[in-house]
Structure 1
Amino acid sequence: MLLTLLTSGCHDGDKGSLWDENIVRFQVDVETDPNGRGGYNVEPDWCVLMLPENNRVMQDIPLVIYCHSGGGTVSSSGSEPENNDFTRYFVSRGCAVLCTAGMPESYSERLQVDHTRCLGNPVSVRSVIKAYDYIKELFYNIDFSRCVVYCNSNGGLTASSLVNHTSIPILAQGGLCPLISIEKNVWEKLGYKTGLIRLFGMKSGSYEKDKVGKYDPYVYNTHSEVPYRCPYLIIQPKRDRFVSYDIAVQFADIMNKKGSEIIVIDTDEVGGHNVVPQPVIIGSYSYMGKNYPLNKTVDDMYLFFCKYLRRTDAE
């Protein structure tokens, strides 16, 4: 399953040691369904695992699965989470962070779609499963029973499908402006319709619910008789012009009546649809030897996860 393994600081093709660095880049083979018409191919997708400093002497490291926003990706030379305040802060507090590109470049090139916008398609879910299974075989000091998922924007669709359709023991989900529905959030958005048609194998310009199926979280969960599998904190500003605050509240209301624990918070700290929180600084943190300002929204998300990761260092 593993095609390439690089540790930060090693030359391309040099295997190195998994424990030499705090950034591990690797590829997994992912089954892709070309244009939804059958005949699976197997194509490589880039993944990154960010590890806390001194990870070699640490035990029971909790895992955060990060589903990145549209425009973000993972490659052999860098990734969105390495430049993201949320994920850097999680690592600085002792968590490991796993992120995948979610769409092999060869696959996106063949379909002629933006490889940074996964749009919740099944390949993005398969990629996370493959990456999760791979690191589970190697990293004995990660506690895979203490796993949460964090998502930005576009990544909300993949994150919810991980909760809904995998056996990964996800204890909680948190999202900043997360997409909740393919049909309600993105189908009519300029530049997204063509990608959705090609990724889900639709044959006309009309939305085909049967092709999207269970990968629209709003439809899948609101039509289910069971509660959402884990607590979910949604930070969603009302003035977001891309993701509707009202849809998030409606989703939470419907699901909470089924016994779910979904919280929607509006915040003035996040301006519009912005996956980078605006500066309300409450302190600082250190990551990879550098100091960064600590944003309140970032800390709030971490404290939410701490409740379910059974951490004792949340202050």
Structure 2
Amino acid sequence: MKILTLCADRAAVAAQYLMRCAWLAMACMTSPVLADSWPARPVRLILPSAGGSGPDTIARIFAERLSRSLKQPVVVDNRPGANGVIGVDAVAKSAPDGYTLLFASSSSTVISQALLSKLPFDVTRDLVPVAQIFSGGIHLVVANDFPAQDLKTFVALVRANPGKYDYATWGPGSTGQLVMESLKRRNGLDIRHAPYKTINQIYQDIQGGRIHVAFVDATSSVPLIKAGKLRGIAITGSHRGPALPELRTMTEQGYPFDTDAWYGVFAPKGTPQSVVAAVHREILSTLSAPELRERFLQLNLVDPPLKTPEQFAQTVRVDLLVWQDIARANQIHLD
């Protein structure tokens, strides 16, 4: 049985490698003369998050490896504020020439659009999806003295104690709030939202006994879970994280929530298709680097999805509808 499992694992790895090669070959064939000179100068990667944040760490790791592939500097330009609106709008209004790109999460793009009725841009109209960098989930965690070991016992405990508990997230309109409010509505739970300014503050208060439940990102929480300083209850999204393979998804535990969080690269509307194809080709090449894959696995990020720009655009459209439905059903908005 072990031999069969090992063979199956090796076959899966080989199949994934062949798929990556096929995508690279397709991207190369779709890049005509117009993009031959790209990039002829440094590329600016606008990030709608603050320096030193989790997204900033991921973006800088990616940018450094992309710079080596392009043989041109890729400069991360932090534009935090207004739930990502400032940074996203800066790219939407930039010249469509491939030299100003957006590195953004689903939270800064589709979720912001789901929660804000008045935006200076439309994600599906004013941005061109180029490449999805990775997809994953967020962690539902509890304090060590919280009497629940999994999602089933968590739901039963909260349902039996209406109004007793609060749950923390990194702010109003966060992915964590949307997921928990959806879980509450579908299971008749009464647990109050306690928005925090930073995830580090959440960790301090969980370990200090001031709050017992939180949704946090799936990267910074890993060492704390492994060290036994807090307990992981579930991960959202369609798959488990590589750094905590024993932590089951919400869906696996009987509470379906398959929509993934993700990061992606976008270009301004009007960027020539040949330039989009060239950027996509170089990003695929970058993501195929073994050292980058290993670094991302350490951050609990799964292998990047192998999607064309058109497939990523479809993901953006579908996810926008999902988050809009959740926001509408739970009356969550930011304006």
TM-score by length of 2: 0.29
Q: Would you tell me which structure has more helix in proportion to its own residues?
A: 2
- Which has the higher relative contact order, 1 or 2, with Cα contacts under 8 A spaced 6 or more apart? 2
TM-score by length of 1: 0.30
Q: Would you tell me which structure has more strand in proportion to its own residues?
A: 1
